[in-house]
Amino acid sequence: DIVMTQSPDSLAVSLGERATINCKSSQSVLYSPNNKNYLAWYQQKPGQPPKLLIYWASTRESGVPDRFGGSGSGTDFTLTISSLQAEDVAVYYCQQYYSTPYTFGQGTRLEIK
């Protein structure tokens, strides 16, 4: 199984500042034939299901604000929120869909400082 490890577990950032969440996979999720990273990011607010933010490691889902950005390749990935807004308080998960069992990171809780 591919193990996904996020860092940090929790993060407090001031409004308007940058938030950075890291995700590392135990093996590469880059599929060479199409040069795509099989990595997604989700946002989950209390009492709600996860919401897709990013897929293919860096493609923003339609309707997701452009302050959310994904980067990285192979085994190391980053979710960046360029200017934190109050509504961004949530838990963020990375997930690999390179192979089954699909696996998620443990989650990063983002709060306002």
Partner 1 sequence: EVQLVESGGGLVQPGGSLRLSCAASGLTISGYWMHWVRQAPGKGLVWVSRINSDGTTTTYADSVKGRFTISRDNAKNTLYLQMNSLRAEDTAVYYCARVYGDYGWFDPWGQGTLVTVSS
40 touches partner 1 (CB under 8 A):
yes
CB 17 within 8 A of CB 83: yes
- The residue (of 38 and 68) whose beta carbon lies closer to partner 1 is 38
CB 12 within 8 A of CB 20: no
CA distance 49 to 35: 30
Number of residues located near partner 1, criterion CB under 8 A: 24
- The residue (of 16 and 101) whose beta carbon lies closer to partner 1 is 101
**Both structure tokens of 98:** 């390179």
68 touches partner 1 (CB under 8 A):
no
User: Given the rule CB under 8 A, which residues bind partner 1?
Assistant: 38, 40, 42, 44, 48-52, 55, 61, 93, 95, 97-107
